[in-house]
Amino acid sequence: MKEKIAIIGLGYVGLPLAIEFGKKLPTLGFDINQARIEDLKKGIDHTHEATPEQLRSAKQLTFSANINDIKECNIYIVTVPTPIDEFKTPDLNPLRGASKMLGEILKKGDTVIYESTVYPGCTEEVCVPLLEQASGLIFNTDFYCGYSPERIVPGDKVNTLTTIKKVTSGSTPDIATFVDDLYSSIITAGTFKAASMKVAEASKAIENAQRDVNISFVNELALIFDRMDIDTQDVLDAASTKWNFLKYKPGLVGGHCISVDPYYLAYKAENLGYHPEVILSGRRVNDNMSTFVVNKMIKMLIKAGKRIMGSKILILGVTFKENCPDIRNSKVADVHNELKEFGLEVDAYDYEAEPAEVKEEYGIHLIDEIKEKYDGILLAVSHNKFSLLDIETLKKDSKSIVYDLKGFLPRNLVDSRL
């Protein structure tokens, strides 16, 4: 039977995948957001991950928000989000919803592949029972599953889907080979067939947990060096002259992966009776960085003789990383809100972010252009175009203090760096 693929979820992960498969095989991109589907049909991608030309290049790709349109597919790839809830535990509702939905249309011989980041064992423990219950079919007899963790880097135009090696796995040896061959048809960097789905799930979880722990280490150094009146960036520059030093930089750790995935790993470990020390200590350090940044900004204003109540602050950047519109789990929002709690007037400017999305998600109004004079300027995200801002004039006209979290601005214009 000829493969016909349905991509479930058309966000930062699903859309690039749909485009690449749509160049090779009949592919249907499915999303419950009808507005998103209509935009994509017009060649518009608000995530900026795909250009109109790239969308047009996928000759066999179609889009739909109608579940009935994907019934004829025999391969389903699930790329829905897997966030955490207010208690920092896995929120599997989108994954459960997608599994129940697919179970209702699943046929004998179909394969469901999950790309959503989960804890080891989640596919077989949570998703498979839902597929069986809704379909009445038997796992590994009537239908099969695979797991291939996403490695998309939002905003990165060099390390893209096809140029990053893909980890694959399947619920049986034959299905593992089938899934690996499927991805090999679009991934030019090659694939790695993991020993099991649980191994593939674990590999994704530890990739981001490792980065989180490493960043938490330099964030803790930043806390220490601040008390010593030492510039952390200077220390890292000196230390990185040794060939085997890993130059991670301090900062606010947000986004859909690094600030979320370690909690999935910790959740599973605690369910098995093990309390992870290193993973959770790293999370605590990184989660508290927004409070440190706010306190530092307040101290800088006081030292400069500024009156705190009513002082005007400009935050440059609200996305979770540079040069992309992705605002998911951005810690800049925490900084913004804490500064306001101190009685400061806070403006936020970000030409990359979608104003309506920022307003809906965080209640933050983005200014269209910088007109006011500010007592303090906080560079939170190092978007390339921020280098074109006349920081020198902004600083001089209002005698403002400048706090650079990214080591991005000219050193002579900055009062402090993280």
Q: Which residues belong to the active site?
A: 257
C-alpha–C-alpha distance, residues 141 and 52, integer Å: 41
State the DSSP H helix or E strand holding residue 41, giving kind and residue range, or none if neither: helix 34-41
> How does DSSP assign 52-102, residue by residue?
HHHHHH-TTEEEES-GGGGTT-SEEEE-----B-TTSSB--HHHHHHHHHH
Phi, psi of 233 (to 5 degrees): -60, -40
Residue 334 in tokens: 């925490």
Q: Characterise 68 by phi-psi region: left (phi > 0), alpha (psi -120 to 50), beta (else).
A: alpha
Residue 15 in tokens: 């859309």
* Measured CA angle at 149 (ends 143, 155), to 5 deg: 135
For the chain, report the end-to-end CA distance as a whole number of angstroms: 57
Residue 332 in tokens: 């800049």
Q: Under 8 Å CB-to-CB from 140, ≥6 apart: which residues?
A: 171, 172
SS3 313: strand
Question: CB of 173 within 8 A of CB of 146?
Answer: no
SS3 201: helix
C-alpha–C-alpha distance, residues 113 and 128, integer Å: 11
Residue 6 in tokens: 């349905």
Residue 413 in tokens: 């214009």
Distances (CA, A) of 279 to 51, 124, 259, 275, 350: 38, 24, 11, 9, 32
SS3 348: strand
Question: CB of 198 within 8 A of CB of 171?
Answer: no
Looking from the CA of 15 toward its CB, the CA atoms found within 13 Å total 23
